[in-house]
Structure 1
C-alpha cells in the first residue's frame, strides 16, 4: 500500500524559500495593488456599502424630506462597519461622510466649488473616528445603544470645533416632520439624533440576527447568526420608539399676538447683491408701506409687531441719514415696532456688526442684538493676513464682523422675542439662551444660497426649534424662505423664494418651558460620555483579547 512520504532533501538542493527567516516570502504577501483592489483592510464590499449608506441619508434632508432614509442609512453604515477593527473602519466611514455631506451641502457651490469640496470633506472627516468607535462597540452587548450615543458624540464635537463648529446636517434636522420630532421637547435636538441613530442600530441588529444570504451569514460570528427572537425584539423596539414619539404632547395654545413677516426680496441672485444695498432696503420699505395700507389703525388682525430679515438694511441707519429716513417712514406708517436687520459700524471703527434693531414708530432705534456667532470665512476671516494673499475671493470680506456678547432677548411691542440670526439657528446653545422669550425670531439672508438645499434646511431647523422650546418661530428672509411656525412645528405660512411676500398671522405667545428647556445641555453631555465610555471599554477589551491571543501563540 502506498504511503505518504516526505521527499528527501539533498545537500545540493536549494534551501526552502523563507528558511531561516521569520517573515513570509515577499511573493506570498499581497502586494499593494492587491490590497487596493480589496479596498484596504475593510474590503471593497464594505466600503461601497458605507458609501451607499451616505448617499441614502442625503435625501432624508430638505428639500426631499424622505426622513425614513436617515435611520435606514445609519443601519446600512452600521452593517458595513460591524465587527471591523477600529482602524479599518475609519476609511469606509470617511467615504460614507463624503457621500453624505457633499450632496447635502451642495448649496455651498454658490460660494465656490473649492469651498464646497473642502467643507464637505472636512465634515466627512468627523465620521472617521465615529466609524472606528462604531466598529469597536458592535462587539459589546446592547451595541445599538452605544452606536447611537456615538452619533451624538460626533455631532457634539462637529458642532464646536474648529472655529465654533458647523452643526449643519445633523441627523436631527432630517426629522422635523417625523415620529421622532416630538422627542425634541423632551431631551432637545441631541435626543432626536440619538433615537434616529438608535432606530438605525436596531434595524441593523435585526438584519444581522435575522435570515441573511448565505454568503453574508458565513462571514458573521455565530452569536450574530443566531437569534430570531432577538431580531424580532429589535423590530419591536423600532416600532416602539416611533409610537411613543407620536404620544408626546406638544403645546398649541398661548396668548394670541398678531405678527407680520416682511420678505422684501433682492434685485438679483449672487454674492454681489450687497452692492445693491439701497434697492434691498427700498424693497422692504415698500412692502411695509403696503402692509400699513392693508391694515389701517383699528382694523381686525392688524399686526402688533413686524419682523424684517437680516441685511434688510446694509446701509448703516446710525450714520446714513437717507437709510434712517426710509426706515423711520416705513415704521411710522405701519405704526408698530419693527425688528430691523442692519449691518452697522462697530464702536472700535475696525469691525462691523450684524444687528437686529428694535425700531419704534415714535422713538426710533432702541435696543438691539448683535449676532454672537459670525460665520467663519463668511463674516470674519481667520488667518486673514495669509488667506487674503492666497485666495482673492476673500477680499470681499474687507472687515470682520464683531461677535455679540449677550443673547438676543428684546422687547418688541407686546412681546419679548428671542432673536437669533441666520447660521445661529443650528446651534442648540444659542437658541436655548433665548428660549425664555415668548416668541422666537430667526432673521436670515439666503440670497447667496437661493434655490439650493440650504434655505429649506434652515426652515427645517426652525421647525425643530419650535418643538424643542414650545415657541412660535418667525423666520424672516430677504429673498426666502420666510415662514411662520406654530409651537408644535406646524407651518402656518411659508413663502416662495425670490418673490416679495408679507405674511400676517395670529400666533400663540408662550412662557412655559419644555422639559428640554429645563434639562438644558445635560442629555447631550450624558449621551456623548456614554458613547465615548462604550468605545473606550470596547477598545480595552479588544486589546486584552489581542494580548491573550499573542500569549497563547
Structure 2
C-alpha cells in the first residue's frame, strides 16, 4: 500500500512539474520515486504501480481537458495511463541489470516514443522533456532534441536514486557519479550552438481575440475574422503614418477564418483588401474545404497582395474525436450525439517543405502540431529560417493548456535554434528568441498587434538528426533489455541436463542478478 500511495503521489508530482504550476524540482524527485517503487518488484505488480502513477500524472497534466467534458478527461487519462503500466513493467524488468539507470532511461524513452506514435498518431503531451523549460536541461535541446532530453532527465533521476542507495557504503563513488551528472547537465551552457545568420525580418503578429467569455470561437467566427482584418488594417494605417515599422509579413492564428476563403466571397474580398492595404503577405489560418467536399483541411495559407494565395501548410496531426472521428462508420452520431459536433473529418497534411513568405523560408505548425517532432524537424532540415506556430486554443483559454503549449513552443525555439513566432486567437501570442527567451508577448484575452524585428537562422542543429534517431533506437534496445532476463532463463533451462525446475519466467526476472 505504501508503494501504491507513493506511485500515485509521484505521478501527481510529475504533473505539477509542468505548466501552469511548474514546480520543476518535482521532476527528478517524482521519477526517482517511481523507479524506487518498481525496483526489484514482480512484473504484474510493477505494471499496477505504473498504472497508478500514470493515472495520477495524466489526470493532473490534462486537467484542462475537463472543458470538453469530464468523461473525455477521464477516458483519455485512463487510456494514456496504460502506457505507464507498460513502463512500470519494463522498468522493473531492467532494474536488476548492470547499468540499470541507463536501461531505465531507455525504457522510458521507448514508451514515450510508442505513446507519441500509436494509435492515431499518438499523444506526445506529457513528455518529460516538455517540463524542462527554464532548467539546466533546456540547453541540451539543440544537441539531442526532445527525445534526448527525456532520456537525460530519466537517466539523471535514476542516477540520483542509485547515489542515494549507495551513499553510505560508497560515499566517494556516489559523490563522484553525482558530480559527473551535474557537470554533464551543465555542459551545454559552456558549449552553445549558434545557428543564427545575418539576415533579419520584421514580423507582425495579430491576436484578434474572441468576444464574450472568449472560449466559444464557433459562436463568433465571423466577428473573429473581422477583428483580425480590422486590426491588420489599423496596423497598415500606423505604418503609413510612420508610427511603426513596415513588417515583411503578417501572421494570423489558426481559425482566423473558420470558412473557406476560396469559396466564401465576402471573406476572399476582405482578405484581398486587407493584404493590399498592408502591402505585404499575410499567413492566414483557414479551414479549407477538401476537394471531395466531404472533409476539411486546417491550413496556413500565404496571401500575397499581388499574386494572391500561395504556399500552404496543412496540419499534420488533427485531434482524434475533436477534429475527425476515427472509424466514423462505427461511431454514428445517432449513438453518440456529441460526435455530431464534428460533421466532417479533418484530413492530415503531408508537406515537409517550409512556406516561402516574401523570400523567407518559414516552418509552419498548427496548434498541437508543435508537440510532434516530425512537423518541425522536416521543415528545418529543408531550409526553414523561422518557425511560426498558428494556434487557436480559445476553448482552453481559461485553463493551463495555453501555458503548457507556450512552454513547448519555447523549447522548440531552443531545439531548432530558430526564432518562434506564436499567433493565437486570444492567447498566448508572442515572439520567442532562439535561446528560448520571450522577446515580446501579447496578454491573453486582448486584441492587439505585435511588430518585432527578428533574426533568421541557417544550418541544421544536431537535434534535428540525433533526436529522431534516439527515439527509433530506444524501442528495440529497451525491448531487448527488458526481455534479457527471460531469455537468459530460457537458455539456462535448455542447458540444464535433465534437471526439473520450478522456476517460472517471472521469478527469473526477479532473480535476474544471476542472469
TM-score by length of 2: 0.92
SS at match of 1:266: coil
Change (3 A) 1:282 1:72: same
Q: Separation in 2 of the partners of 1:356 and 1:490?
A: 25
* Residue 418 of structure 1: aligned partner: 363
Q: Secondary structure at the match of 1:389?
A: coil
Alignment of 1:458-537 (within 5 A): 458-519=405-466, 521-537=468-484
- Deviation, structure 1 residue 300: 6.3
Matches of 1:407 and 1:309, distance apart in 2: 20
* Number of equivalences: 496
| Contact 2:214–2:426 under 8 Å retained in 1 | no
- CA distance 1:468–1:317, change in 2 (3 Å): same
Identify if the C-alpha distance between structure 1 residues 394 and 48 changes in structure 2 by more than 3 Å, giving closer, same or farther: same
The 5-angstrom pairing of residues 283-302 of structure 1 reads 283-296=227-240, 301-302=245-246
Q: Which residue of 2 aligns with 1:450?
A: 397
Instruction: Report the 3-state secondary structure (helix = DSSP H, G, I; strand = E; otherwise coil) of the residue aligned with 1:551.
Output: coil
Is 1:169 the equivalent of 2:112? Answer: no
Report the CA distance shift for 1:128/1:431 in structure 2 as closer, same or farther (over 3 A): same
Partner of 1:359: 303
Stretch of structure 1 that moved more, 234-243 or 151-160:
234-243
Indicate how the Cα distance of structure 1 residues 366 and 350 shifts in structure 2: closer, same or farther if over 3 A, else same: same
268, 275, 280: which one aligns with 1:336:
280
1:53-202 matches, cutoff 5 A: 53-202=10-159
Q: What SS class does the counterpart of residue 439 from structure 2 fall into? A: strand
What is the aligned-residue RMSD (CA, Å)? 2.1
Alignment-derived partner of residue 163 in structure 2: 206
What is the alpha-carbon distance in structure 2 between the residues aligned to residue 451 and residue 55 of structure 1? 21
Q: Secondary structure at the match of 1:433?
A: helix
Q: 2:184 is matched with which residue?
A: 241
Q: 1:449 to 1:543 in 2, by over 3 A?
A: farther
CA distance in 2, matches of 1:428, 1:143: 28
Is the alpha carbon distance of 1:85 and 1:248 closer, same or farther for their aligned partners in structure 2, counting shifts above 3 Å?
farther
Q: How does 1:356-435 map to 2 (within 5 A)?
A: 356-387=300-331, 388-407=333-352, 409-435=354-380
The gaps in structure 1 that reach 5 residues or longer are: 1-43, 212-225
For 1:447 and 1:472, the matched residues in 2 are separated by 24
Distance in 2 (CA, whole Å) between partners of 1:103 and 1:97 is: 10
SS in structure 2 of the partner of residue 50 of structure 1: helix
Larger relative contact order (Cα-Cα within 8 Å, sequence gap ≥ 6): 2
Q: What are the Cα deviations for residues 508-549 of structure 1, in whole angstroms up to 9, with x where unaligned? A: 111211012244621222233332222121343466789999
User: Does structure 1 retain, via aligned residues, the 8 Å contact 2:302–2:309?
Assistant: yes
- Give unpaired runs (5+ residues) of structure 2: 504-515
Residue 276 (str. 1) matches residue 220 (str. 2): yes
Aligned equivalents of 1:413, 1:66: Cα separation in 2: 42
2:136–2:185 contact (8 Å) kept in structure 1: yes
Give 3-state SS (helix, strand or coil) of 1:381's partner. Answer: coil
Q: Which has the larger radius of gyration?
A: 1
Could you tell me the TM-score, scaled by structure 1's length? 0.85
1:228 corresponds to which residue?
Answer: 171
Question: In the TM superposition, what whole-angstrom CA distance separates every residue of 1:190-226 from its partner, at most 9, and x where no partner exists?
Answer: 0000011111111111222235xxxxxxxxxxxxxx4
